[in-house]
Structure 1
């Protein structure tokens, strides 16, 4: 009993510590923050009939067999988003959570091609723009977007979305690819990446590019993203650990990996490839540039701080001070890996140091 109480108290201390540090989130799909309660509220508001009660929706999100199983559930949420207010409310809900978890900067992943049959692109993007503006004014949370094409969408649909979104490059800070990973290598979409660069959707330097790779796919998908697309960031990337030569390259180049611990657990990536064990501790030991993220928090049982707590579990063999040092560095990594200027990176890292010193 005393041992159990000690662990509980330790987690309470660590939870408070994590919340005290400013941090960035770089890998979060916006619809992935659509909580069941809000989903049903939007469905009722728009007259969309869903064959699920609140309890059934929550139950359906308890477990998934794999990525494709999850994506089918994820797509239910897209059925209820019909107008400006829906998109505003969805984003606002996430930005409010950011303010509660000391997430001061976030790069949110979006894909809008699935909506343009029901609502204008301008309505969607203006909702996002205004929610971001209001969140920064009210909470001090800064947000930008990463436009994601999907491997499982048609080439034409992906290209059409890229062309249409050029008008919103002021709020789109980067470009990437997501969706069903193993249907194709990212390099098969290279012409679309080149077009995104031309349209200034990859930042002013045209290097703000990321790819989902090394989650369901083996290390070759990471290598393809690095060599075929020349990405500056890998989303997930945990299966890179299967290739020691790839690990050495990632360490040498300090390519950031946006790791999502609860997602890896829920989608059974850890069960299938790592014996059920979390890998963040191992990645840190290897010298990899790791950041912690929530991926789809409303589906995987936790937002960013809960993912940090999951990391704490994997570092339980270390002392409290050692764990705190790792958490501090992971928070710094989140800014160092962000698509922001060097001056902004230094500013945010100094904020982390200041917050850390106040906790010591």
Structure 2
């Protein structure tokens, strides 16, 4: 681990906000703020179950993953046109740029929209327009990862993949999200094998509410390259050693973990333990509109609650670039910027 003994703890908030970073675990539908939900509802003449922005925001009180998903899917009902998907992604990308995010790999859930009769092309084209615009206007590199909803069947996932293939050049990988309990990774072995044949990058949510076994099966059965969440790996020391030896990245989402009761309070979070074990942990925002903060807020609250210092900040930011699916040249360029920023603070 790099050491930065001359950066005092009181300077950490400024350092965390300023440092270049990547975000690898962001559900774009989870960035849909109540204000934009109401604006899109009005534009599309969609009636909502809440009378005001304030009432909707007050409903963001979750007891577990499923109670969050219920309101998450309701919020997505306002997304109907290509412009809607562009505007949602553009709002997130502007926030990301303001927080010194140089690269982001964005999850999207086409089944949430196709189930409502929205054509998958509308979803993908709208999101892609925003990522192209972000590179041109904000200098932010952004890619798309199509996620399958694990509470649905594998046949439905295979159908979704076939619907998406005409737009194959617009997304770089596939993932697996939604309700983890009762839906193990091996349920999707065939569709992930097909995606591997297509040359797509593979990631999967595992070890958030599900057991460490789900992490192992995501690696062995689905052959994923990254584990989304993965915090329950610590319950299996052999798995922790394997993750460290194989340098498997974990896309950890601290505020999400607290909001969904994976940990009771932030000072109980195991991010420091993951780093101490040599794991390639990263910090991400997951569903920031619902969980209380975008990427910088996740860094700030985590570092305020845990005994983490500037060395940990550097490691997490560097991990975020190294764990990305960007080119080696881009990674080297971003890490050079990270080094320059830490030299300035030191």
**Band of TM-score, shorter chain:** over 0.9
Aligned to 1:243: 236
Tell me what 1:191 maps to.
190
5+ residue gaps, structure 2, are 1-7
Distance, in Å, in 1 between the alignment partners of 2:170 and 2:344 is 34
Alignment match, 2:325: 339
Aligned counterparts of 1:311 and 1:214: Cα–Cα separation in 2: 20
State whether residues 135 and 141 of structure 2, in contact with CA within 8 Å, keep that contact through their aligned partners in structure 1.
yes
Pair 1:83-2:64 in alignment? no
Matches within 5 A, 1:1-360: 13-52=11-50, 53-61=52-60, 63-116=61-114, 117-200=116-199, 202=200, 208-271=201-264, 277-316=268-307, 323-360=309-346
Shift in Å, 1:275:
9.8
Question: Is the contact between residue 214 and residue 240 of structure 1 (CA under 8 Å) also seen in structure 2?
Answer: yes
Q: Does the CA-based 8 Å contact 2:266-2:302 persist in structure 1?
A: no
- Structure 1 stretches of 4+ moved >4 Å: none
Contact 1:101 1:305 in 2 (8 A): yes
> How many residues are treated as equivalent by the alignment?
337
State the Cα deviation string for residues 212-261 of structure 1 (Å, max 9, x = none). 00000111111111111121110000000111111111111111000000
Conservation of the 8 A alpha-carbon contact between 1:279 and 1:314? no
Is this contact kept in 2: 1:233–1:255, CA < 8 A? yes
Q: 1:113 to 1:275 in 2, by over 3 A?
A: closer
Q: CA separation in 2, counterparts of 1:230 and 1:199?
A: 14
SS in 1 for 2:325: coil
Closer, same or farther: CA 80–103 of 1 in aligned 2, 3 Å: same
- Counterparts of 1:138 and 1:235 in 2: how far apart (Å)? 29
CA distance in 1, matches of 2:170, 2:330: 17
TM-score (norm 2): 0.93
Secondary structure of the residue aligned to 2:102 is: strand
Q: Does structure 1 retain, via aligned residues, the 8 Å contact 2:196–2:202?
A: no
Aligned equivalents of 2:53 and 2:9: distance in 1? 33
**Offset of residue 276 of structure 1:** 6.7
Deviates more, 1:127-136 or 1:292-301: 127-136
Q: Note if contact 1:33-1:297 (Cα within 8 Å) is conserved in structure 2.
A: yes
Return the alpha-carbon distance in structure 2 between the equivalents of residues 289 and 120 of structure 1: 37
- The offset of 1:174, in angstroms, is 1.5
For structure 1, the residue ranges without an aligned partner over 5 or more in a row are 1-8, 203-207
Offset at residue 315 of structure 1 (A): 3.1
| Aligned mates of 2:28, 2:131 — CA distance in 1 | 13
1:50-78 alpha-carbon deviations (Å, 9 max, x no partner): 121211111111x2111111111111111
